[in-house]
Amino acid sequence: MILDSHVALVTGGASGIGAAIAKKFSSEGANVCLCDIDSEIGKKTCQNIGERAQFYHIDISDEDAVRATIEKIVQDYSKIDVLVNNAGIASDKLLLRMTKDDWGRVITTNLTGTFLVTREVIKHMVKQRYGRIVNIASVIGLIGNAGQANYAASKAGIIGFTKSCAKELAARNITVNAIAPGFIETRMTAVLPDQVKQSYLKLIPMKRFGNPDDVAALALFLSSDQSSYITGQTICLDGGMVM
């Protein structure tokens, strides 16, 4: 129970990687605040996890909603020890066809949303002089990808944001790290054509795709005191895809 008595906030926790992280944290003793814009799926996920999980509806791109939700969580639990910024979207198009709305929607959700949630949470972490923040980036933020200029820019921004936050918060015993998953089998990747999946598989030395539990295990380590001397790092979890 390495997160026993901890309060952990996971954005985008309704399904996929976020749900796996929430489940893993709960199994290790944490009270999990599962935040998502999808109330129906989010509440079902909380029911499946059990009594240690509580659902909070949130649109992370809405500044007022973020502030109100964080205040409600602190009222309910008195503190927030761990933050996992996992919520994100993709809207893939070739650059020539990408509209300003396509660009802005992804940047606003993935990057600005991460900023808004982090800013509100650290107000409480700084006071308690303790915190663990894990931002879910992507290998695409490191290597780029055709048709994903907006997504790559948002994830690269999260990596830079992670480093800056780590430097600002280290003296307060708050660590900030990022995970850069490779190809993880989720609802988002399931819709890709088989040809695209096979092209990715050829780039992975381990010759298999990852799964949400792989990400959850690393998130657990980075959220625990076992990683207390690690901050400002971006760890690729990709089967060797990026070296």
Whether residue 190 is predicted with pLDDT greater than 90 in this model: the reply is no
Ligand-binding site membership of 48 (annotated): no
Whether 17 contacts 136, CB under 8 Å:
yes
The residue-averaged pLDDT of 14-42 equals 97
State which amino acid sits at residue 55.
F
Q: What is the pLDDT of residues 203-237, one digit of tens each?
A: 999 999 999 999 999 999 999 999 999 999 999 99
pLDDT for 196? 85
- Measured distance CA(174)–CA(134) in Å, rounded: 11
Q: Which residues are catalytic?
A: 151
pLDDT for 13? 97
- Domain 7-234 belongs to what topology? Rossmann fold (3.40.50)
- Measured distance CA(125)–CA(117) in Å, rounded: 12
Cβ-in-10-Å burial (0-12, 13-18, 19+) of 129 comes to exposed
Kindly report the number of other CB atoms within 10 A of residue 207's CB atom: 9
Percent of the chain with pLDDT over 70: 100
Structure tokens at 17: 């990687």
Q: How confident is the model at residue 188 (pLDDT cuts 50, 70, 90)?
A: confident
Ligand-binding site membership of 151 (annotated): yes
Higher pLDDT, 123 or 191: 123
Higher pLDDT, 189 or 173: 173
The residue-averaged pLDDT of 160-166 equals 98
By residue count, the chain amounts to: 243
Structure tokens at 10: 């996971």
Ligand-binding site membership of 184 (annotated): yes
Q: What is the pLDDT of residues 34-67, one digit of tens each?
A: 999 999 999 999 999 999 999 999 999 999 999 9
Q: How confident is the model at residue 192 (pLDDT cuts 50, 70, 90)?
A: confident
Q: What is the pLDDT of residues 63-116, one digit of tens each?
A: 999 999 999 999 999 999 999 999 999 999 999 999 999 999 999 999 999 999
Q: Determine the Cα angle at 65 with ends 64 and 66, to 5°.
A: 90
pLDDT for 39? 97
Ligand-binding site membership of 200 (annotated): no
pTM: 0.96
